[in-house]
Structure 1
Amino acid sequence: MSHDRPVGELLRDWRRRSGLSQLDLAIAAEVSARHLSFVETGRTTPSSAMVLHLADRLAVPLRERNRLLVAAGHAPVFGGQPLDEPDSARARETVQQVLLAHEPYPALAVDRRWNLVLANQAVEVFLDGADPELVRPPINMMRLGLHPDGMAPRLRNLAQVRSYLLPRLAHQAARTGDPQLHALYEELVAFGPEPAPGPPDPAEAALVIQVSFREAELRFVNTVTTLGAAFDAALDEIAIEAYLPADLATRRYFRTDR
C-alpha cells in the first residue's frame, strides 16, 4: 500500500504525474534542487511543513497529503469522514441543501471515484430505465452515463459526451494513480471508439447533454463545482454536478406540473 512507501518515493510519483522535473518543482516551491533530490532519495526526512509545502505545489488531494505526512513520520492534519458517517451529519446537510436549492433541475454529488453520494429528486432523469445493476448502490455516475444498459441509449449526443468525459477520466486516473479509476476507464472506453488522448481542454467549461426522458427531449448544461474544503479530506473529494436547462423547452418542462 502507498502508506508503506517512503515519503520521497511518493512525492516523486506525484511530481512525475504532474509532468514536472525536479528543477521545475524546486523553482515552484522555492527550495533548492539539491534539497528536493535528498528528500526524494530518502537522504533527508522532510518536516511536516515541507511535506505540506511540496504537496500544495503539486496540488495533491488532502487525503493523499495525510498519507505523505504519515510516510514522513508525522501526524495527519486533515480530518474528514465519509458523508454517511454520523460525525459528518453537518457536512452532509450542507451538501444536501445545495442540491435541494437547485430543484426543479437535477443536481447530484459524487466522490473522487464518481460514486453517487447525494442527489435531489430530479436526478430521476438520469436513472430512468437503467439496468437495476447500474442503479444499485454505490451508483457510479460515470458508468451509468456511458454504459449501454444505462443512460447511453437515451443520449442524443453520446459521441460528444464520451469525447468530453473519457479524456477527463483518463487524466484523473493518470494524475492520481488510482487503480480503480484506471479500471473504470478501461471498462468504459471498451464501449465505443477511444477518444483522442491528452488532458481536458480548459476551454470546454461546460458540457451540453441532450437526453430523451420518457416523451420529452431535454437539453442541459452541465457544470461541476468542487467544495475545496481547506481542512476536510472528505469534502475536498466531493464534486457537485448541477444541470441547468440549455433551452426554453427544457426549462418549461421542469416548470410545468407533470
Structure 2
Amino acid sequence: MHSPTAGDLLRHWRTTRRLSQLELAGRADTSARHLSFIETGRATPSRQMILHLSDNLDIPLRERNRLLLAAGFAPVYAEPDLDTTAMAPVRTAIRQILTGHEPYPALAVDMHWTMVDANAGAALFLDGIPADLLAPPVNALRLSLHPRGLAPRISNLAEWRGHLLDRLQRQIDVTGSADAAALYAELRAYPGGADHTGLPEPDQAVVPFRLRHGDRELSFLSVTSVFGTPMNITVAELAIESFFPADAATADHLHSRAGR
C-alpha cells in the first residue's frame, strides 16, 4: 500500500476544489512551476507553505494535520474532548445558544452528526422514538430518516430526505470523510421515496421540515450555525441546528407546550 505524500494530498484537494495549478498558484502568490514540483515530489514544501496552501484550498483542519504529517511535520491543530476544562467556554456558548432558542428546538452536532447537546424544545422530536435509537451516541440524521425514527412522522419525507442527503453529500465533497460516505450509503438505503431532485416551487424560499405531532402538523425552518473562528478540530467540526416555526400555529403550539 502506498502512503500518500504531501504532494499527493495537495493534488487531491486542488482537484477536489476544481482548480488548475495555475489558478491555485495565483491565489497562493507562488509559481505554477513550484506548485507542480511540490505535487510531484521534486520540491519539499515548508510547514508555512503547507499551511498557506491549505488556507487557499479551504482544507478542513483535520486534513491539514494529515498534510503536515505526510510532509514530516508535527500536527498543529489539537482535537480536545468537548468535556475538557479548556473547552468550558465553548460548552457554555453552546448551552447559551440552545437555551436562548427555547421553546423552539435546537441541537448541537459534531462532524459525524452525533448529538452532543440539545435544548428542552428538542424533546418534541424524541416522542415515541425507540430506546435503541436514543442510546448514545445518537446520530441526528439516522434518527431523522430511520424507518423506526422520525421518518414515519415527517409529512414531506421525500423532500426532507433529499435535502438531508444533499447536505451530507456536500459535506463529503468538502471534507472527503469516509465516515460521512458510509453514513450516506446507510441513509440512502432507508425507505422514504425517491431523492428529491426537482426544482423548488416558485414561492419556495427554503425546504420546510413538516412533522406530525399528535393530531397536528408542525412546520419548521432550519438554520445551521458554526463557530466563526475555530482554532481546533473539535470546534471546527461543531454545528448548531436551530428550528424556527414556519407558521403561527406551530409557534403557538410550541409556546403552549413550554407553558405546560
Judge same fold: TM > 0.5, yes or no.
yes
Aligned to 1:116: 115
Determine helix, strand or coil for the equivalent of 1:45: coil
CA contact (8 A) 1:212 1:218 kept: yes
In the alignment, is the contact (CA less than 8 A) between 2:163 and 2:196 conserved in 1?
Answer: no
Give the AA of the match of 1:50: M
Distance 1:84 1:206 in 2: 35
Alignment correspondent of 1:200: none
The one-letter code matched in structure 2 to 1:138 is: P
Paired residues of 1:39 and 1:46 also in contact (CA < 8 A): yes
- Unmatched segments (≥5 aa) in structure 1: 198-203
Partner SS state of residue 224, structure 1: strand
List aligned pairs for 1:82-161, cutoff 5 A: 82-161=81-160
Secondary structure of the residue aligned to 1:129 is: coil
What RMSD, in angstroms, separates the aligned Cα atoms of the two structures?
2.2
Specify every segment of 5 or more residues in structure 2 that has no aligned partner in the other structure, as ranges: 198-203
CA distance in 2, matches of 1:223, 1:180: 24
TM-aligned CA distance change 1:250 to 1:174, over 3 Å: same
Counterpart check, 1:251 vs 2:251: yes
**Which residue is equivalent to 2:222?**
222
What code does the residue aligned with 1:27 have? G
Q: Distance in 2 between matches of 1:82 and 1:107?
A: 21
SS in 2 for 1:44: coil
Contact 2:209 2:219 in 1 (8 A): yes
CA distance in structure 2 between the aligned counterparts of 1:42 and 1:214, rounded to whole angstroms? 62
Q: In structure 1, what is the Cα distance between the partners aligned to 2:120 and 2:240?
A: 15
**Deviation, structure 1 residue 28:** 2.3
Indicate conservation of the 8 Å contact 1:167/1:196, yes or no.
no
Contact 1:146 1:188 in 2 (8 A): yes
- Match runs of 1:181-220 below 5 Å: 181-191=180-190, 192-193=192-193, 195=195, 206-220=206-220
Within a 5 Å distance, the mapping from 1:25-104 to structure 2 comes to 25-104=24-103
TM-score (norm 1): 0.89
User: Hey, what does 2:201 align to over in structure 1?
Assistant: none
Report the Cα distance in structure 2 between the residues aligned to 1:179 and 1:67, rounded to whole angstroms. 14
> Counterpart in 1 of 2:200?
none
For the residue of structure 2 that corresponds to 1:244, the secondary structure is: strand
CA displacement, residues 149-175 of structure 1 (integer Å, 9 cap, x when unaligned): 111111011111012111221222233
- 1:94 CA drift (Å): 1.5
Alignment partner of 1:99: what SS? helix
Question: Contact between 1:66 and 1:77, CA under 8 Å: does it hold in 2?
Answer: yes
Identity of aligned residues (%): 47
User: Is the CA contact 1:167–1:195 (under 8 Å) kept in the aligned structure 2?
Assistant: no
CA contact (8 A) 1:17 1:176 kept: no
Normalised by the size of structure 2, how large is the TM-score?
0.88
Quote the offset at 1:5 in angstroms: 3.1
Return the alpha-carbon distance in structure 2 between the equivalents of residues 194 and 13 of structure 1. Answer: 32
Letter in 1 for 2:10: L
- Paired AA for residue 93 in structure 1: T
Alignment check: 8 A CA contact 1:206 1:223 kept = no
Shift of 1:20: 2.1
Q: Which amino acid aligns with 2:144?
A: G
Q: CA deviation at 1:189?
A: 1.1
